[in-house]
Amino acid sequence: MCKKYYAASIEQHTSNKETTIIVKDEITKEEFENLFLVTDFLKYLMPAKEAHKIVIRNGRELLFFLSDKNLKEQLLVKKCSKGNFITDANRLIFNFCASMRTFVDHAITTVQRKGKEQDFKKFISHIFDESLEYRFFDKLRNYIIHYSYPFVAIQMSVPDSVKIICKKEYLQEFDGWGAIVKKDFASMPEEIDVRQYIEPLLVRLESIYLMMYYYYAQDYCTASTTFADFQKKYDLKIPTTMSIEGGLGGKQMIHPLSLEAISNGIEELKHNPYINLVVYDG
């Protein structure tokens, strides 16, 4: 059955807030398919982008839960069970550690599709070598999975001091920390406040995320240019496409372009310290 493809324009009317789709010119099947081919790479980024949002959210949630304000509110004001509070703290710190590993694994897989896996792994190894925070939480996941949970007690003292305790001596009973982290323990106090490591670690994870994007900069630029050329060629306010199957009066379908995803990606690339991006608006 014959199917034809058309360039179409989405036009929004400010007076009545209605949206109209105006069909412009017929386009070839090849031109139509190319508009979607240039954004095919987005599906490879999706798992890592979702994993990034999850690990950052888990980190923020853990940081809030362990904050002095929440500790006092839950344990001094609301008189919550200490045992339940410790369980929730251990649950949240495991979620953070697990989502950190998941994010890094997805990021590596995403870059692997560009054939740059080894370069990317070297970048992550450099972060491991340079960041105590990254090393600690990376190995803490192994500690939780293979040995125990880090939070063991809550300490209260008058008038309103509350601390949740992570004891170094208990952590060191586990033999799977690796040589570097074992050396790190020498500079840590007997009671480790993990909160001080979370914010710097989130910064390190963000750098991994941005470096992952670095390898897809050309894809975003190609898609952005393709959409801009299509828009200009057919004089479209907001470009989209339509297909009609079976001739006049046949089945009509709108095929939206991934305009927002590409626009958002370009904005992220503009602020990426690893990229000197010049965007042509002409």
* Residue 71: burial class (beta carbons within 10 Å; 0-12, 13-18, 19+): buried
Bridge partners for 8 per DSSP: 23, 240
Residue 246: the pLDDT is 77
Residue 10 CA from chain centroid, whole number: 30
Residue 278: the pLDDT is 56
Bridge partners for 10 per DSSP: 21
What amino acid is encoded at 277 in this protein? L
Closest CA to 129 of 179, 79, 193: 179
User: pLDDT tier at 277 (50, 70, 90 boundaries)?
Assistant: low
pLDDT of residue 80 exceeding 90, the answer is: yes
Bridge partners for 251 per DSSP: 245
Digit-coded pLDDT (tens) for 36-57:
999 999 999 999 999 999 999 9
Dihedral angle computed from the Cα positions of residues 131, 136, 137 and 141, in that order, rounded to the nearest 10 degrees: 140
Average pLDDT over residues 23-43: 96
Q: Are 215 and 1 in contact (CB under 8 A)?
A: no
Positive or negative, the Cα torsion across 158, 164, 168, 170? Answer: positive
Residues 6+ apart with CB under 8 A from 182: 172
What amino acid is encoded at 109 in this protein? T
pTM of model > 0.85: yes
What amino acid is encoded at 49 in this protein? K
Residue 49 to residue 264: CA distance in whole angstroms: 12
pLDDT of residue 258 exceeding 80, the answer is: yes
Residue 271: the pLDDT is 81
DSSP assigned state of 244: E
pLDDT of residue 193 exceeding 70, the answer is: yes
Residue 109 CA from chain centroid, whole number: 14
Alpha-helical runs (H) found in the chain: 29-37, 42-65, 68-72, 82-112, 117-130, 132-146, 168-171, 179-184, 195-214, 217-233, 259-270
Residue 134 to residue 238: CA distance in whole angstroms: 44
Average pLDDT over residues 220-228: 96
Supply 88's token pair.
């929730």
Digit-coded pLDDT (tens) for 149-191:
999 999 888 778 898 989 999 999 999 999 999 999 999 999 9
Phi, psi of 192 (to 5 degrees): -90, 125
**How many other C-beta atoms are found inside a 10 Å radius of the C-beta of residue 82?**
15
User: pLDDT tier at 249 (50, 70, 90 boundaries)?
Assistant: confident
Average pLDDT over residues 216-234: 96
Residue 52: the pLDDT is 98
Closest CA to 230 of 268, 262, 270: 262
Residues 6+ apart with CB under 8 A from 129: 180
Residue 276: the pLDDT is 72
